[in-house]
Structure 1
Amino acid sequence: MKFTTLLVFITFIVVLVSSPAQIESRVVVKSTKPPCNTIDLTGCWPEIFYKTKPSAQCCGTLKAQQPCYCDFIKNPALRKFATSPEAHVALRFCGIPFPTC
């Protein structure tokens, strides 16, 4: 009886070790692109209304959104803001080239 139990145990171990384990792998890609569904104008309101040189805060905000400019231009709800003369002036003051999409 002990021999049979030992044989079953060894068979179980061999089957367990020799069967390939299922490994789940995932690729996680972190996007550095901000969400492109709204234009953030934090720190830019005085410059837009009075058409003055943008502050460092405004330029930082605009530079952070630079990957989204083409999305803004393609979005009918945002196009008029993204392509306005004020947007061109603000981008030029901040040293950000206007995108060619």
Structure 2
Amino acid sequence: MKFNINIVLYAMVVVLLWAEATRFANAVTCSPVQLSPCANAITSSSPPTALCCTRIKQQKPCLCQYMKNPTLRRFINTPNARKVANSCGTPFPKC
């Protein structure tokens, strides 16, 4: 069985481009504004909403970055924020 090298190379390029596009589509955009649905739960004793939990899960890779920011740290690095994250099944990472 004889393969055309151009077809094989083309197929490899297509697979690599698809893999890169998939990786790019799954990348997280760190934006603390995305956590705004959690503000009420963090600042009060209200339970987190489903939207809050979804956003915490999406933004989890960014939490260490947020805690390095002095302005954000005072909101993110609190016992109540950790309680909300734990309630959502997303414990804080060790930074």
TM-score higher than 0.5 here? yes
The farther-off stretch of 40-49 and 75-84 is: 40-49
Q: 1:69 aligns with which of 39, 49, 63?
A: 63
- What does 1:1-101 align with in structure 2 at a 5 Å threshold? 30=24, 32-36=27-31, 38-101=32-95
In structure 2, relative to structure 1, the CA distance for the partners of 1:97 and 1:48 (3 Å cut) is closer
Query: For structure 2, which runs of at least 5 residues remain unmatched after alignment?
Result: 1-19
Greater C-alpha radius of gyration: 1
Q: Number of matched residues?
A: 74
C-alpha separation between the residues in 1 aligned to 2:62 and 2:84?
A: 16
Return structure 1 stretches of 4+ with deviation > 3 angstroms: none
Contact 1:39 1:72 in 2 (8 A): no
**Deviation by residue 1:37-67 (Cα, 9 ceiling, x = unmatched):** x342343233234312211111001111001
Higher helix share: 2
Query: For structure 1, which runs of at least 5 residues remain unmatched after alignment?
Result: 1-26
Normalised TM-score (structure 1): 0.61
RMSD: 2.2
Who is 1:7 aligned against? none
Normalised TM-score (structure 2): 0.64
